[in-house]
Amino acid sequence: MSIPIEAALKPLFASLKRLHIGEYLHTKDFELHALEEGLDDLWKVCMKEVYSKKKFIALGFGVEIEDHEEGLMYAMSVWYTKRPDTFHHLILPILTRFAEWTPTKVDYTSVLLRLEALQVESKALDQFAQSYAMIQEGKPGEFKQERPELKKSEVDSKTNTEATLQVAPVNTKIKRVFISHASKDVKYVEELIDLLKLIGLQKNQIFCTSVPGYGIPLGANFLSEIKDQISNEVLVLFVFTSNFYASHVCLAELGAAWVLSKEHVPIVVPPFGFGDIKGVLPNTQGMIINDELQVNELARKIESLFGLASHSVNDDWERSRKRIIERINHSIAQDAVARAFSEGSAKPHE
């Protein structure tokens, strides 16, 4: 009896396949992982399914790598069909071992989005994203990217060659600002946009997903657009709050930006502090969003990176910056009241 392929898993499988995961599945390390996790029987059944179909279908290329990738597709389908609520127990340990095994950094942005779409347990995704970011930190400065899908006629001896993106030369010019943030923090992002425009940036030099006109155009692919925007020509501003670490997309952006972006600045929104920053950026010099002197320093940095005339020392700048910070302080105070009310409501009544 053949193993049916679970249609809901096909987008995830496509992302994994483009990351060359078959190269890892063909190793002794994965064999050991399967034994340790009690997956060896399932894996044998799935590979038997692969080879049984090969008796009738001659693929004729990339045999070992492609076979093991197909085996993973069957294993995921079997597990997901029987126990969808525990699917993370199968796939996340494999992704962790793959990230540890490969000598270069792995871009899991699309994989995390696919897992989120499958409604994989939120807590498990949070833990994985954080451990994955720590693994990335120790890797050399190359990024193992997704490979494009090839037609069978185009597959040759280069199929198994890793596609890597080199870190940009030091003199690469910064062209845009990417604001990485949780959608719940959009009011702070709107103030940052006003600040960036006050410094001298144009609308087309600012990208964020939550403010209309600055994000992804209608009809565009969300995942592709995010990945295109995070590059070595971008200054990434991270807006850190507790909401940021509750977002799988934000955590994926954090890992990708650490590798691909040439410049990044952590911005904390009180009561969130620098000591609360986890993962790959705890030692990067950052700023507090409502600190006037640090806002001035950010302005000078952006003026230098983009070759803008200095506005951070005149009276107009001081007045406008002060109004923006006053609005930010008002939002921080509102959030504090909301938290206090929420915490008070959560306490049991005596």
CATH of the domain at 322: 3.40.50.10140
Is 171 a domain residue?
Answer: no
185 and 51 co-located in one domain: no
- pLDDT at position 231: 66
Is 350 a domain residue?
Answer: no
118 and 186 co-located in one domain: no
Least confident span in 149-163, 197-211, 313-327:
149-163
The residue-averaged pLDDT of 17-21 equals: 89
Rounded to the nearest 10 degrees, what angle do helices 109-117 and 248-260 cross at? Answer: 170
- pLDDT at position 240: 92
204 and 305 co-located in one domain: yes
- pLDDT at position 192: 96
181 and 326 co-located in one domain: yes
The residue-averaged pLDDT of 214-227 equals: 66
Is 156 a domain residue?
Answer: no
Is 61 a domain residue?
Answer: yes
Residue 186 confidence (pLDDT) above 60: yes
121 and 182 co-located in one domain: no
- pLDDT at position 154: 35
Out of 82, 107, 137, a domain closes at: 137
216 and 329 co-located in one domain: yes
Out of 76, 110, 137, a domain closes at: 137
183 and 86 co-located in one domain: no
189 and 329 co-located in one domain: yes
Is 142 a domain residue?
Answer: no
- pTM value is 0.53
131 and 51 co-located in one domain: yes
> Tokens 């899991």 identify what position?
108
**Which band of pLDDT confidence, cut at 50, 70 and 90, is reported for residue 224?**
low
Long-range contacts of 289-296 (CB under 8 A, 24+ apart): 289/188, 289/191, 289/192, 289/239, 289/328, 290/325, 290/328, 290/329, 290/332, 292/321, 292/322, 292/325, 295/195, 295/321, 295/325, 296/321
Is 334 a domain residue?
Answer: yes
- How do residues 120-177 score in pLDDT, each as one tens digit? 888 888 888 888 878 877 676 544 444 334 333 333 333 332 232 233 333 447 889 9
**Which band of pLDDT confidence, cut at 50, 70 and 90, is reported for residue 211?**
confident
- Please state the domain count of the chain: 2
Q: How far is CA 40 from the centre of its chain?
A: 31
Q: Do 200 and 309 contact (CB within 8 A), yes or no?
A: yes
187 and 78 co-located in one domain: no
> Which domain, by its residues, includes 68?
7-137
**Which band of pLDDT confidence, cut at 50, 70 and 90, is reported for residue 256?**
low
180 and 310 co-located in one domain: yes
Residue 310 confidence (pLDDT) above 70: yes
- pLDDT at position 199: 92
More confident call, 277 vs 281: 277
Is 159 a domain residue?
Answer: no
Omega before 348 within 30 of 0, i.e. cis: no
In sequence order, the 6+-apart residues with CB closer than 8 A to the CB of 273 are none
Q: Whole-number mean pLDDT of the chain?
A: 79
The closest alpha carbon to 222, from 234, 233, 207, 232, belongs to 207
The residue-averaged pLDDT of 99-105 equals: 87
- pLDDT at position 66: 84
Residue 236 confidence (pLDDT) above 70: yes
75 and 202 co-located in one domain: no
- How do residues 45-100 score in pLDDT, each as one tens digit? 888 888 877 654 444 444 577 888 999 999 999 999 888 999 999 999 999 999 88
